[in-house]
Amino acid sequence: MGTLNLQTLVSGTAQALMEASASDYYQRVFKTLGRQLLIYADTHETDGFSMDFGLQFLEDHYHMSEKVAAKKWPVIYSRCINFISDYQRTGHIVLCFGVTKKVYTIPEGFQESMGEYLDYRKKIGISDKTIQLSLLYLERFFDFLAGEEIHSPMIPKGCADVLLAFEPAEAVRNLSYLRRGPKEGIVIVNKKAVQPVTATLGNGGYDSSKMLSYLKEHVKNLYVVDGEAICKKAGSPKTLNVALLGAAAASNGLGLDIKDIECEIERRVKPQYREMNLCALSLGAAALRGSTS
């Protein structure tokens, strides 16, 4: 169904709603929204459908963000877009009142984390009906992940392209996740050791130089950066994670450009913290370029 054009999807979804015994109100709203969606698609010179396109339509045509913030958003509009997505994926529609009758299968790689998530929701008093409804959306999310060949929330051992470590021992502990072979992954590590609490209390600790020597012997693409110096220049030790991201971007191992991360910092970080994070990002990238692997 994923190859159907938008006109066919809208018509098929309308028919599926009738077959699912949707109320006259739902069918009328969908008919109106479907007509508006087709006009919107025509002005954007497309005849395909994706959830991203559907949500952009709701934003542009109905000002969804503003109405959600004002708590005046008619949820039925979002459901209409979900109906099209459901029909595109499965060829039929599951109405909300039928959700509790459906049995959902969580993919094996996600069962542990999803079990903890669902147990937590029950513990804080979320109703069974709401949990079942959330599973409807999670099922769609898992289908998307499967299409991207993502089968677990954790990167399998031996598959990491980039390993970032806040300190040497952390890198050593997690080396088993690094991709090996002709296209071996990259390790970027802050050279300063972070002593465990037990070592601090016992006046013990470990020698970071030994850990770094071990990494140099066992990692082909190793970059050691002075995170402490970078954070001092940036103005906060809390920017170490961004500095490591900057180094990772400069390594070309992330698949992201420095500019991509800068844009996200500009968009997501509060103004009072923005400059120090941009500084740390830039310094981290410069440190990688000046590091020897």
| CATH for 162-290, options being 2.40.50.360, 3.40.47.10, 1.10.760.10, 3.40.920.10 | 3.40.920.10
Token representation of residue 196: 């465990």
**Res 101: pLDDT:** 55
**Res 293: pLDDT:** 52
**Res 231: pLDDT:** 94
Q: Compute the distance between CA of residue 215 and CA of residue 223 in angstroms, rounded to an integer.
A: 10
Strand-pairing partners, residue 162, are 186
Residue carrying structure tokens 């392209």: 161
CA 12 to chain centre: 31
**Res 203: pLDDT:** 59
**Res 1: pLDDT:** 58
Q: Which parts of the chain register pLDDT below 50?
A: 98-99
Residue 242: is it exposed, middle or buried by C-beta count within 10 angstroms (0-12/13-18/19+)?
A: buried
Domain ranges of the chain: 6-147, 162-290
Token representation of residue 160: 């990491």
Is 245 within 8 Å of 156 (Cβ atoms)? no
**Res 183: pLDDT:** 87
Q: Is 197 helix (H, G, I), strand (E, B) or coil?
A: helix
